[in-house]
Structure 1
Amino acid sequence: MAEIEQIRVSIKRPKDSLDGKVVGYIRSNPFGLEADYSQVITATLKNHWLPLALFSSGLRGEELRQIGIWAISQLEAQISMIRRTCGIAPDPLVVTSNISMQASNIVASDSLSVLGVTSGNGQISSTDEEDEDHEDDDDDEFLDSQNYQEMTDIKRMFGWDKP
């Protein structure tokens, strides 16, 4: 039976350096999880590099997309924890995949939304039957008070209404 080829990683840093403090923190099992030190290090590497490593190995398509979604969700969870721990408010100018997903849910749940409905090819189109009858009035639609209120509500929901 053939032996499995393994890769060995060793990290040694002075205890008082920033790198040493990070390694010491991870080694201390800060969250009391069952994972050992090497599992935490490996998980951290996967979160940051797995999609790119698989892409460079030739993986494409839906499987790569799913792995990318998983990695991004792991990194976003870490970002959220860092924000909470350090008292950092989310930056309203930074658009994350969570906001994109929330925007997709808004579009899917409200067919009369000013955002319209996203078609299969990713383009936005309106489902309002009146648009077919009044193609020349498209520019006036954005001035309508109901649509203005929708946009105001959307901006408030995403935190974009704050100066």
Structure 2
Amino acid sequence: MEQKEQVFFTIKRTIDTQEGRLLSYLQTEPFDLGTLPEIVMLTLKQHWSPFAMSADGVDGEPLRQRAIWAIQQLEAQAALIRTVFIEPSVVKTETSRGETQAQAQQANGVESSLHQTQTEEVQALEHCDDDETDDDEADDDETDLEWIDIKPSLEMQQINKLFGIG
């Protein structure tokens, strides 16, 4: 059996550096993404696979589909970072190795609370609408509510997908 040529990649960093701590964190298999080599390969694919495919001469629809996939993955990661660390509705906590899962659960809770808040707002609007009389509607056309279908944004859908929700 013919043995295929392999590419080897090794990273060594001192544990007391930022990069060393990052590698140590990734070895904990955060968010059940897999082992360190799997996480590194996934990250590389998300960032560089469209470029590598293009350099290999791939073009057209296969390259377009890979680019779309990469963008979706990167946007989902950006949304996750935004939700966990930047959005004001998330309580900031000091990050340590043991708190990562708590932060993921916290982000999951934010999604649940957002959905609950949206549901409560719709119910409140429906209740207000029920209280209106026909005369009120005729007299006050400017304040009539137009109902729209509330759907989660693309970022929220991607966050939900990352956390296995819905």
Give the TM-score normalised by structure 2: 0.50
Task: Report what 1:4 is aligned to.
Answer: 4
Gaps of 5+ in 2: 89-152, 154-166
What SS class does the counterpart of residue 71 from structure 2 fall into?
helix
Unaligned runs of 5+ in 1: 90-156, 158-163
Amino acid in the other structure paired with 1:8: F
Residue aligning to 1:85: 84
Greater RCO, CA 8 A, separation 6+: 2
User: Superposed, which structure 2 residues align to 1:33-48 within 5 Å?
Assistant: 33=33, 35-48=34-47
Structural RMSD (CA): 1.7
| Amino acid in structure 2 at the alignment position of 1:40 | I
User: Equivalent residue for 1:125?
Assistant: none
- 1:30, 1:66 → 2: CA distance? 27
In structure 2, distance between residues paired with 1:65 and 1:46: 14
Using the TM superposition, give the Cα deviation of residue 36 of structure 1 relative to its aligned residue in structure 2, in angstroms: 1.8
Whole-angstrom CA distance in 2 between matches of 1:81 and 1:65: 24
Q: How does 1:47-86 map to 2 (within 5 A)?
A: 47-86=46-85
Shift of residue 17 of structure 1? 1.0
Structure 1 segments of 4 or more deviating over 6 A?
none
Give the CA deviation at 1:88: 4.2
- SS of the residue corresponding to residue 59 of structure 1 reads coil
Deviations 1:18-59 (A, max 9, x none): 1112111111112134x2221111011000000001111111
- The residue type equivalent to 1:27 in the other structure is Q
Q: What SS does the corresponding residue of 1:75 show, helix, strand or coil?
A: helix
Aligned residue-pair number:
89
Distance between the aligned counterparts of 1:5 and 1:83, measured in 2?
40
Aligned counterparts, 1:1-163, within 5 A: 1-33=1-33, 35-88=34-87
Q: What percentage of aligned pairs have identical amino acids?
A: 40
Question: Separation in 2 of the partners of 1:61 and 1:32?
Answer: 34
Query: TM-score, length-normalised on structure 1?
Result: 0.51
Question: Which digits, 9 at most, give the CA deviation of each residue in 1:124-158, with x for residues without a partner?
Answer: xxxxxxxxxxxxxxxxxxxxxxxxxxxxxxxxx9x
